[in-house]
């Protein structure tokens, strides 16, 4: 196969490529071409395209036809332009060979500098530069770098020699070494290579060049590069370009320098030139940390002309690229050369400030500004996060179940959490897993750490609802609740020890990590205002209590899309009543318990609806399997077994005691009490056993509860409508929307709807007032989506529950899948993304689309939203926009993200 053009030349104000050719030339190559074309001083050179690399990998590491010839031609052109020749003993051309993919992968791939030096050319360089020391230092650096990058020899082998020579010479810094010492270093490097590694260091510069280019190609497939791409979602198929560029030197003397800078502050976004430089140094010295680089402003004092030129250039670049740039430059004998320009990475705060400032500066439009900020980054702004500059000791990592970084003393039970909190201590509640019994402890803790459970485990869901930080399913920790400690690796963490958990990243950190507080900047408010003007999707929040509702409203939520009423029952004072209701022997008993719950629920809804006055509030009827409210079957089983044996043994011992002539009359009573307790526990066990399910996710839950026990639906509907009536009487406008969960047939919805309507009419009668309300349903089962044209007959709105829909569409139980095989699927590429995080467009998304279309085929104006966790995920929001949903609903802290993502969806 012959490919037309595989090498692009740049130099002397003219490049064959342009800045738009990133796909072909890589980011670096395109930047060099563009800078060359707009008249910025760039050392000439040429770029080998990514296509060559792709061909190389597809064809058993062979070059495409013509590549060698084109490289030769371009090298000739470069030699002619520079008036030097590669390998010329008197005036050798020296080049750098750098990788450069379309998407920047900093530090991931390889660079060789000073290529072209050998035992002969080093002498020519010494004479030509009139700087023998520099020439040998350059050769020393080249051997080290080439051997490492191309030949795979360890750095430490060279460092060892260098240290020995420094020791012999009695100096500490590299730049204190004499020419003679450097000559010695070179000789020892070459000997070590020959004798230890059995390598004759290649002396032919063309061979050096070929080897370096191959090494760059190879580096695309290095494990760290592969890992990086996986991490940042960069396709393996892109390949890398190779840039061969004339060397310029920042280390030829005190009128030389090298530096890196950002055109604005990448942490804050402030419009100040921001960077650092070193005089008389080569690029790698800036990062090596041996000499401390100076802030860029001092360059103005040291080399005012170069600084002025640099200022002109960075302004030109910003004006040209309309974005903040990350640049690299070298000053060789006072002459400035640009080696790289690229879009600068930045924090969320900086991204927002730069975008908003640039609109004000007239550089970009509001629409462009909106596209400049990655919505996912906003999460940083809205939760405290770990100071990125801090040195921290990460002990383990779990699931990033609920965002925010918090520190506190470790406690191992909900009760301990409460008593420590009462003493004013900040605590992190650590549990194997949480249950409804832990709610009071979770409420007072700064954060929750669990060893088991997935993103929808009790801990995760409740923590997100409460806005607490949570790291869940951290399988590396072994929690010993009984002895109040957990171990991880070699660490043993006792009650009271301080740890930090970062629910945004899943990290568990030893000690108190410094954190940065969350805040929404003025520029953020401006930007989100622009987003609101553009987006078509409405944004609602998932919130279960007035506190979270207020927070959501503050963040711009336009309603509550999902209020999970079951969370209201987990409260400490309510759980016993809930259990009473569940354990009731008959409807009469059940209604008694429900009567106690009614005023509590009414109070909840009163406060919720009040907090969201004027905005719609979607309240979902009771959803989870009832056994979630009961003690765990296994715990009861163990308890009963213990009681049984104790009782058996006591009888036995009584008999034995009798044999020994000892009378223990008191024991008999104890045994009677035990028997009674045992009987009670057994009864409870029997109840729990009856409610227990093999696959509770697919069992008696959702509307199946309300259908089996209509009195539950009745109580909830009554509480909602009563609260709405009371608030309306108080002069407030409320918009309750009652949502029936887990519907699979229209008949289910119909029966629940009729019951709700009947109850509502009773309340209207009793209160002497009517309120508007809607009845709708969650579409969260494939059958509901497939038969949405039938279900819609009874629904005033649809809300897609994409969490459950993902579970049933894939047949993945999230709690089981994430620990057991889903990670493996994502790691090995069987799934591009975890479908619980990013909506699976082909499968689950297709069902959402089908459901929406079928629903609207009957009711064209049907209001449709989603209320799964996908509601806060930008890619999923984009999909929701594309298929014409009315709204997305997400957790309060993700509302700003959703606002921005929804605007971007319009603009994309």
Catalytic positions: 458, 867
For the chain, counts of helices (H) and of strands (E): 35, 32
CB of 841 to a second copy, least distance (A): 10
Q: Is 754 in the site for a second copy (CB under 8 A)?
A: no
Q: Name the segment binding a second copy (CB under 8 A); options: 163-171, 568-576, 765-773, 776-784.
A: 776-784
Report how far apart, in Å, the C-alpha atoms of 723 and of each of 544, 599, 711, 820 are: 16, 10, 18, 44
Which range binds a second copy by CB under 8 A, 12-20, 403-411, 803-811, 865-873? 803-811
User: Would you count residue 47 as binding a second copy (CB under 8 A)?
Assistant: no
Which residue is associated with the tokens 């989506």? 785
Interface with a second copy, residue 811, by CB under 8 A = yes
Kindly tell me which of 262 and 800 has the beta carbon lying closer to a second copy. Answer: 800
Nearer to a second copy, 190 or 479 (CB): 479
Q: Measured from the CB of residue 870, what is the shortest distance to a second copy in angstroms? A: 15
Yes or no: say if 285 and 291 are a contact pair by the CB < 8 Å rule.
yes
Residues 6+ apart with CB under 8 A from 846: none
Q: Among the candidate windows 64-72, 669-677, 712-720, 842-850, which touches a second copy by CB under 8 A? A: 842-850
Query: Is residue 390 helix, strand or coil?
Result: coil
CA proximity to 183, closest of 147, 133, 232? 133
Please identify, using beta-carbon distances, which residue of 525 and 670 lies nearer to a second copy: 670
Report, in Å, the least distance between residue 844 CB and a second copy: 7
- Ramachandran angles phi, psi of 858, nearest 5°: -105, -45
CB of 661 to a second copy, least distance (A): 9
Token output for 151? 């030949």
Cα gap 57→783, rounded to integer Å = 46
Nearest to 557 by CA among 104, 891, 91: 891
Kindly tell me which residue out of 439, 734, 735, 847 binds a second copy, with binding defined by CB under 8 A: 847
Is residue 815 close enough to count as binding a second copy by CB under 8 A? yes
DSSP assignment of 47-90 equals EE-HHHHHHHHHTTTPPPBTHHHHHHHHHHHHHHHHT-BTT-SS
- Give me the least distance between CB of 830 and a second copy, in Å please: 5
Contact between 846 and a second copy by CB under 8 A: the answer reads yes
- What lies within 8 Å, CB to CB, of 251 at 6+ separation is 134, 137, 138, 258, 280, 281, 282, 285
The least distance separating a second copy from the CB of residue 817, rounded to whole angstroms, comes to 7
Query: Which helix (H) or strand (E) covers residue 23, if one does?
Result: helix 22-37
Q: Does 876 bind a second copy (CB under 8 A)?
A: no
For residue 694 the two structure tokens come to: 């093999």
Q: Which of residues 636-655 bind a second copy (CB under 8 A)?
A: 637-638, 641-642, 645-646, 649, 653
Query: Is the CB of 81 or the CB of 826 nearer to a second copy?
Result: 826
- Between 327 and 839, whose beta carbon lies closer to a second copy? 839
Q: What DSSP designation does 2 have?
A: B
Q: Given the complex with a second copy, which of 134 and 709 has the nearer CB atom? A: 709
Minimum gap (Å) between residue 682 Cβ and a second copy: 13
Residue with tokens 């005033």: 796
The minimum distance between CB 65 and a second copy, in angstroms, equals: 31
- 742 sits near a second copy (criterion: CB under 8 A): yes
2 or 695, CB closer to a second copy?
695
Binding segment for a second copy (CB under 8 A), chosen from 106-114, 168-176, 226-234, 820-828, is: 820-828
Q: Closer to a second copy at the Cβ: 131 or 808?
A: 808
Please state whether beta strands 538-542 and 887-890 pair in parallel, antiparallel, or not at all (unpaired). Answer: parallel
Contact (CB, 8 A) for 104 and 193: no
Q: Binding to a second copy by residue 634, rule CB under 8 A?
A: yes
Rounded to a whole number of angstroms, the minimum distance from the CB of residue 750 to a second copy is 9
Shortest Å distance, C-beta 586 to a second copy: 16
Rounded Cα gap, residues 579 and 382, in angstroms: 37
From 402, 618, 744, 873, residue interacting with a second copy (rule: CB under 8 A): 744
Nearest to 245 by CA among 102, 67, 128, 111: 111
- Buried/exposed code over 62-74 (b: 16+ C-beta within 10 A; e: otherwise): ebbebbeebbeeb
- Residue in 104, 121, 808, 904 binding a second copy, rule: CB under 8 A: 808
The interface with a second copy within residues 674-713 (CB under 8 A) comprises 693-700, 702, 704, 707-708
Among 379, 416, 840, 869, binds a second copy (CB under 8 A): 840
Counting Cα atoms < 13 Å in the Cβ hemisphere of 147 gives 27
Q: Whole-number minimum distance, CB 838 to a second copy, in Å?
A: 14
Contact indicator for 531, 903 with CB cutoff of 8 Å: yes
In the block, tokens 């010492």 appear at 181
User: Binding a second copy by CB under 8 A: which of 77, 782, 833, 858?
Assistant: 782
* Part in contact with a second copy (CB under 8 A); list of ranges 205-213, 564-572, 726-734, 844-852: 844-852
For a second copy, the closer CB: 265 or 744: 744
Binding window for a second copy (CB under 8 A); candidates: 500-508, 631-639, 664-672, 859-867 = 631-639
Compute CA distances 717 → 391, 704, 752, 758, 775, whole Å.
53, 16, 10, 10, 10
Number of residues engaging a second copy in binding (CB under 8 A): 60
N-term to C-term CA, the chain? 37
416 scored as a contact of a second copy (CB under 8 A): no
Q: Is 489 exposed, middle or buried (0-12, 13-18, 19+ CB in 10 A)?
A: exposed
Q: Which positions touch a second copy (CB under 8 A)? A: 633-634, 637-638, 641-642, 645-646, 649, 653, 660, 693-700, 702, 704, 707-708, 742, 744-745, 747-748, 751, 780-783, 786-787, 790, 804, 807-813, 815-817, 820-821, 824-825, 829-831, 840, 842-844, 846-847
């Amino acid at each position: 196969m012959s490919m037309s053009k595989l090498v692009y030349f740049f130099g002397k104000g003219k490049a064959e490529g342009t800045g738009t050719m990133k796909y072909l030339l890589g980011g670096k190559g395109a930047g060099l071409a563009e800078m060359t074309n707009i008249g910025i001083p760039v050392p000439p050179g040429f770029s080998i395209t990514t296509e060559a690399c792709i061909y190389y990998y597809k064809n058993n590491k062979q070059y495409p036809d013509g590549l060698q010839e084109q490289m030769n031609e371009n090298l000739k052109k470069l030699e002619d332009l520079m008036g030097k020749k590669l390998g010329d003993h008197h005036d050798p051309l020296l080049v750098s060979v750098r990788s450069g993919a379309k998407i920047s992968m900093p530090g991931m791939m390889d660079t060789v500098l000073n290529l072209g030096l050998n035992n002969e050319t080093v002498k020519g360089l010494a004479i030509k530069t009139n700087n023998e020391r520099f020439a040998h230092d350059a050769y020393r650096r080249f051997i080290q770098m080439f051997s490492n990058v191309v030949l795979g020899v360890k750095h430490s082998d060279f460092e060892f020699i260098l240290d020995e020579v420094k020791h012999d010479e009695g100096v500490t810094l590299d730049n204190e070494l004499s020419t003679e010492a450097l000559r010695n270093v070179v000789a020892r490097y070459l000997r070590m290579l020959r004798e230890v590694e059995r390598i004759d260091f290649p002396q032919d510069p063309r061979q050096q060049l070929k080897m370096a280019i191959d090494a760059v190609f190879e580096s695309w497939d290095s494990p760290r590069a592969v890992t990086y791409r996986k991490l940042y979602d960069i396709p393996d198929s892109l390949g890398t370009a190779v840039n061969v560029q004339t060397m310029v030197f920042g280390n030829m003397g005190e009128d030389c320098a090298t530096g890196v800078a950002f055109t604005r502050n990448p942490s804050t976004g402030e419009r100040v030139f921001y960077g650092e430089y070193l005089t008389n140094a080569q690029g790698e010295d800036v990062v090596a940390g041996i000499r401390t680089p100076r802030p860029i402003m001092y360059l103005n004092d040291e080399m005012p002309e170069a600084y002025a030129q640099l200022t002109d250039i960075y302004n030109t670049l910003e004006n040209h690229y309309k974005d903040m740039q990350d640049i690299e430059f070298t000053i060789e004998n006072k002459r400035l050369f640009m080696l790289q320009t690229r879009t600068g990475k930045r924090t969320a705060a900086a991204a927002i400030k730069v975008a908003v400032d640039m609109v004000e500066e007239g550089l970009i439009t509001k629409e462009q500004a909106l596209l400049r900020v990655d919505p996912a980054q906003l999460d940083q702004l809205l939760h405290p996060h770990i100071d990125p500059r801090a040195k921290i000791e990460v002990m383990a990592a779990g699931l990033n179940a609920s965002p925010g970084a918090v520190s506190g003393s470790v406690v191992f039970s909900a009760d301990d959490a409460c008593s420590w909190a009462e003493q004013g201590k900040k605590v992190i509640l650590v549990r194997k897993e949480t249950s409804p019994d832990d709610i009071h402890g979770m409420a007072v803790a700064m954060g929750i750490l669990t060893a088991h459970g997935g993103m929808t485990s009790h801990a995760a869901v409740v923590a997100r609802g409460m806005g607490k930080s949570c790291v869940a399913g951290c399988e590396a920790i072994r929690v010993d609740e009984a002895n109040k400690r957990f171990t991880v690796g070699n660490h043993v963490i006792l009650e009271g020890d301080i740890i930090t958990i970062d629910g945004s990243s899943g990290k568990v950190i030893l000690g108190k990590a410094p954190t940065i507080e969350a805040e929404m900047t003025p520029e953020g408010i401006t930007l989100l205002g622009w987003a609101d003007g553009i987006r078509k999707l409405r944004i609602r929040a998932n919130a279960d209590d007035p506190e979270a509702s207020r927070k959501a409203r503050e963040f711009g939520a336009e309603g509550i899309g999902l209020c999970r009423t079951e969370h209201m029952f987990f409260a400490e004072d309510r759980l016993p009543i809930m259990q009473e209701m569940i354990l009731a022997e008959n409807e009469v008993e059940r209604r008694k318990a429900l009567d106690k719950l009614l005023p509590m629920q009414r109070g909840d809804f009163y406060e919720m609806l009040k907090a969201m006055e004027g905005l719609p509030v979607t309240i979902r009827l009771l959803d989870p399997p009832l056994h979630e409210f009961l003690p765990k079957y296994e715990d009861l089983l163990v308890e009963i077994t213990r009681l049984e044996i104790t009782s058996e043994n006591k009888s036995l011992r009584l008999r034995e005691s009798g044999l020994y002539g000892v009378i223990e009359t008191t024991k008999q009573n104890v045994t009677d009490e035990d028997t009674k307790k045992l009987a009670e526990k057994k009864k409870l066990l029997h109840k729990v056993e009856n409610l227990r399910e093999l696959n509770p996710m697919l069992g008696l839950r959702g509307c199946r509860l309300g259908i089996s026990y209509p009195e539950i639906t009745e109580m909830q509907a009554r509480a909602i409508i009563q609260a709405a009536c009371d608030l309306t009487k108080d002069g407030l406008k409320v918009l309750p929307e009652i949502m029936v969960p887990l519907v699979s047939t229209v008949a289910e919805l119909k029966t629940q709807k009729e019951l709700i309507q009947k109850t509502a009419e009773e309340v209207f009668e009793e209160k002497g007032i009517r309120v508007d309300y809607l009845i709708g349903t969650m579409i969260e089962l494939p059958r509901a989506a497939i038969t949405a044209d039938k279900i819609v007959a009874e629904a005033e709105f649809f809300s897609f529950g994409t969490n459950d829909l993902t579970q049933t569409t894939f047949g993945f139980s999230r709690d089981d899948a994430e620990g057991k095989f889903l990670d493996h699927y994502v790691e090995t590429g069987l799934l591009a993304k975890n479908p619980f995080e990013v909506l699976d467009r082909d499968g689950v998304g297709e069902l959402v689309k089908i459901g929406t279309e079928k629903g609207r085929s009957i009711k064209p104006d049907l209001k449709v939203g989603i209320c799964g966790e996908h509601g806060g995920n930008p890619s999923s929001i984009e999909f929701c926009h594309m298929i014409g949903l009315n709204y997305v609903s997400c957790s309060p802290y993700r509302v700003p993200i959703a606002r921005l993502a929804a605007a971007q969806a319009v603009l994309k």
